[in-house]
Chain A
């Protein structure tokens, strides 16, 4: 019977171009889907629509001038971007950083992690069709941005962390407001869990979808929550501590397959929720221990590093963000190469999207949490 039907109906694969303008490719990503009905036979991602020659620009600018450009890569986590870049330059310069600066950097990076995860979780809800969590998370992110605004005057692209220091000291009210935010935010995580995380339809949509096995993830170099969602306990803050992360107590949450298989979309989502709670823990410790001091004592007048290479990496909200700088002793770097976490995480996408449905493409992309600004640079 089936044979008769198959011989009479001529079927063909349909090519569907998702993007570069599409509501849920998180920017200008183009995914070329080969579809058999709703099933995906092949998914190719095409990037480069936001390419703005960051690495070429760097070769014509002095080291401090690059910092604002770094902000614009992962524009949802500009603080973390700056931190990584500044660490790479400081490694070449070999300068001592005042302790207060280290604390401020950690506080900013962890607030940024929460803010970035909130966007990731909200848009992931949006991708699966739940509109409301998106506005809830943005409401809370707004409060973090207000804290950043209080610190450096900018809400998205800060140019705050400088080589050797930070641009401004903390506002006198900052620590009180930050602690108030932590008090306020704890119950909101529970609220988000009730609204979205344990929703039956949401679990149906995300569990067992886009399973990323740990070996494949490591082979592809996937990092950050996407790697930890696969059950690999790997966090640069713990494995290769930078700044003063070795002074704080925190856990590294990993995906356990509570809703489905380990490494599915739900695990990647849930790791982010747990990570926000760990960030709150780090923040509480840092806000309690922060010493007094001068924040611009170590800022060099002229950044002119020695000949050599340096690679510094930080645990960006999206994964391992690395900066590889080659210096030939001038005021300008000879070559700056960025290891954008989203770039590497996206490269695994076509591997795990195969065999799923169109609606799952959106869920997988959302769970990988990509930002095209840093993929295309």
Chain B
């Protein structure tokens, strides 16, 4: 059982570049920010280090941060450009009983993030869902395909804040 500060110290000492890893407080929760390219290394370390032993990924969440430049269209909808998409990782160690939240952000224009599906296999479907609904591309995922939306859905990723419904899907009218 380790506190957040201890966990951060260990990570800090291991990955000591200043810009790659930092803490951040969001409301009541402490989050460790990690640069996207490093996430796979950090994940492998967290899982395999005996004193950390994060053996379970509880949840992987993709978020559209809506922090880019907003251009409003005539009909009230808007487009976003720039800004970031984020991924939250909720980790837990079932043997040592400590928890940790990691966060990483990727640019909206090129949302590529290394996959952790080979570290925690449970993240397989979570990553597919984040890809499907937010559009984050997980590099190295064994089977990155749509999961909740139809396989032939080609109108974007619905949980993005600037998502617009298509008029027709396979000849069926979508807005009702």
A residues with CB within 8 A of B: 47-48, 51, 53, 55-56, 91-92, 94, 216, 218-222, 232, 234, 239, 306-311, 313, 320, 322, 324, 326-327, 334-335, 337, 339, 343-344, 347-348, 351, 376-377
Contact = CB atoms under 8 A, between A and B. Distances in A.
B29 A218 contact: no
A91 B121 contact: no
A308 B26 contact: yes
Contact of A309 (B31, B55, B123): B31
9 contacts: A94-B28, A232-B94, A308-B29, A311-B90, A322-B59, A334-B63, A335-B61, A339-B58, A347-B124
Contacts of A239: 97
Contacts of A219: 55-56, 120-122
Contact of B27 (A218, A220, A327): A327
B15 interface: no
The 4 residue pairs across chains A and B that have the minimum distance between CB atoms: A308-B27, A221-B122, A220-B122, A48-B148
Interface of B: 26-29, 31, 55-59, 61, 63-64, 66, 88, 90, 94, 97, 101, 120-125, 133, 146-150, 158-159
B90 A324 contact: yes
B122 A48 contact: no
Given A220-B120, A326-B63, 12 more contacts: A48-B148, A48-B150, A234-B94, A308-B27, A320-B58, A324-B59, A324-B88, A327-B27, A334-B66, A337-B63, A339-B90, A347-B124
A358 to B, nearest CB: 24
B164 to A, nearest CB: 12
Nearest to A309: B26
A46 to B, nearest CB: 8
Contact of A56 (B57, B59, B122, B159): B159
A202 B57 CA distance: 34
A76 to B, nearest CB: 20
Contact of A221 (B26, B31, B58, B133): B58
Instruction: Please classify the interface of chain B as helix (H, G, I), strand (E, B), loop, or mixed, using the class held by over half of its residues.
Output: mixed
A219 B53 CA distance: 11
Instruction: Please classify the interface of chain A as helix (H, G, I), strand (E, B), loop, or mixed, using the class held by over half of its residues.
Output: mixed
Contacts of A306: 27
Given A220-B121, A307-B27, A322-B59, A51 B148 contact: yes
A24 B27 CA distance: 44
A170 B88 CA distance: 39
Nearest to A232: B94
A117 B58 CA distance: 23
Nearest to A94: B28
B149 A48 contact: yes
B61 A337 contact: yes
Nearest to A343: B125
A42 B26 CA distance: 43
Contact of B63 (A218, A220, A221, A335): A335
Contacts of B28: 91-92, 94, 308, 310
B147 A310 contact: no
A234 B56 CA distance: 12
Contact of A92 (B27, B58, B63, B64): B27
A323 to B, nearest CB: 10
A221 B117 CA distance: 12
Contacts of A334: 63, 66
B122 to A, nearest CB: 3
Contacts of B146: 48
A8 B55 CA distance: 49
A113 to B, nearest CB: 20
A348 B121 CA distance: 9
